[in-house]
Amino acid sequence: MKAPILIFGARGQVGRELMALAAARKIAAVGLSRSEASIADNYTVRSAIDTQRPAVVVNAAGYTAVDRAERDAEAATAANVTGPAILAAACADAGVPLIHLSSAYVFDGLKKTAYVETDRVNPLGVHGRTKAEGEAKIREATKRHVILRSSWIYGVYGRNFLRTTLRLAGERDELKMVADQFGCPTASVDLAEAILVVVRKLADKPNTSGTFHFAGNGRTTWLGFAEEIVRRQVLFTGRTPKVTAISTAEYPSAAKRPANCELDSSKFATAFGYRARPWQERVAETVAQLSARARIAEAKSEAKSSDTTPVEEKPAELKESDGKPPDSKTAETAS
């Protein structure tokens, strides 16, 4: 049997998307959730790699609660620094390449144009700092790494800005959204595809390595992102809430977020021959998928006369993908 891709953090939004895409493509993949394998546990990580003998390891695990990280630096460090260091050392010893996900939050957001890979990192908070340190640990431990920095990830799985906005659009008549932070909404399905493209390249050219930006195609603000989501959901729900602009200053949160998270993905496109689709197209598809899923769940629940929910909703807080929801009392529990 061909060696599988071994995915840590397989129950996160990117991990689930990647597992689903690998299954659809009939690519062998083994996914481990946090409860099955914590990346911060050296013994567990090494046992998993010894057992699976993977062709490549993907680290889709991470501490993504940006605001909570400010008061729980220890947990953020365990997942974003210690975990990647352990994975990288274990991969180096096993002679296996590592694909790792990082974030635009390693930058301070002061640049006026899109960030390229050679720009200096200067994180504003604990989350960005731990992501930057995790990258550095990987570079130190193994040459055979591909670090993909992304931003504003959303999709049909897990908690993310698109799903939060859809829920709020169903509940409220006005959504207030931050209009002075810029980024590239990245569909988890585009990122999962990009990871598989890297996996293929590593099979052909095992020496492929480096840091690359991979984000959705196009730039907008949280306001623009929300407007697009709301525009697309009207078709399915008939609801037309107003989307109003607010500034970052009007929505204080524990962590300072970079005003500019735009990533230039051209280096990735040149190296791997793949670019994300325009972000608006992916938003349309994702809203349609979630609406179809909700309708099916509704029909099933009517049939069963029970109130089962179609998708898991973990009672977590806003993550790095989450923008500013309207007039919430606390950013961390708003979604």
Ligand X SMILES: NC(=O)c1ccc[n+]([C@@H]2O[C@H](COP(=O)([O-])OP(=O)(O)OC[C@H]3O[C@@H](n4cnc5c(N)ncnc54)[C@H](OP(=O)(O)O)[C@@H]3O)[C@@H](O)[C@H]2O)c1
- What DSSP line would sit under 199-227, residue for residue? HHHHHH-TT--EEEE---BS-EEHHHHHH
Counting contacts by CB under 6 A, is residue 11 touching ligand X? yes
The one among 5, 6, 9, 49 contacting ligand X by CB under 6 A = 9
Closest CA to 21 of 41, 7, 32: 7
Figure out which of the listed residues 190, 227, 228, 320 binds ligand X, where binding follows CB under 6 A.
320
Residue 217 is a binding residue for ligand X (CB under 6 A) = no
Least distance (Å) between residue 12 CB and ligand X: 2
How far does the chain reach from its first CA to its final CA, in angstroms? 43
Q: Which of 58, 63, 76, 184 binds ligand X (CB under 6 A)?
A: 63
Residues 6+ positions from 292 with CB-CB distance below 8 Å: none
| Chain position carrying tokens 């390891």 | 57
Residue 153 engages ligand X in binding (rule: CB under 6 A): yes
Q: What is the DSSP string of 68-88?
A: HHTT-HHHHHIIIIIHHHHHH
**CB of 238 or CB of 315, closer to ligand X:** 315
Query: How far is CA 215 from each of CA 108, 221, 319, rounded to the nearest angstrom?
Result: 17, 14, 17
Minimum distance from residue 8 beta carbon to ligand X (Å): 6
Is 60 one of the binding residues for ligand X (CB under 6 A)? yes
**Binding status of residue 318 toward ligand X by CB under 6 A:** no
Binding segment for ligand X (CB under 6 A), chosen from 21-29, 137-145, 192-200, 315-323, is: 315-323
Any residues with CB less than 8 A from the CB of 251 and at least 6 apart, and which? 176, 178, 324, 331
14 part of the interface to ligand X, by CB under 6 A? yes
Query: Which listed residue (6, 30, 89, 101) binds ligand X by CB under 6 A?
Result: 101
> Which residue number places its CB atom closest to ligand X?
12
Contacting ligand X (CB under 6 A), which of 19, 22, 39, 85?
39
Q: By CB under 6 A, is residue 255 in contact with ligand X?
A: no
- For the chain, the C-alpha Rg in angstroms (whole number) is 19
Tell me whether residue 226 or residue 241 sits nearer to ligand X (CB atom).
226
103 binds ligand X (CB under 6 A): yes
d(CA 218, CA 38) in angstroms, rounded, equals 35
Q: State the number of binding residues for ligand X (CB under 6 A).
A: 30
Q: Is the dihedral of CA 41, 48, 204, 28 positive or negative?
A: negative
Residues written for the chain: 335
Which of 83, 97, 224, 241 is in the footprint of ligand X by CB under 6 A? 83
CA 47 → CA 3, 43, 52, 54, 84, distances in Å? 16, 6, 8, 12, 16
Per-residue binder mask for ligand X (CB under 6 A), 131-150, x = binder:
x------------------x
- Which positions ≥6 away from 47 have C-beta within 8 Å? none
Binding-site ranges for ligand X (CB under 6 A): 8-9, 11-15, 34, 38-40, 60-64, 78-79, 83, 101, 103, 131, 150-153, 158, 319-321
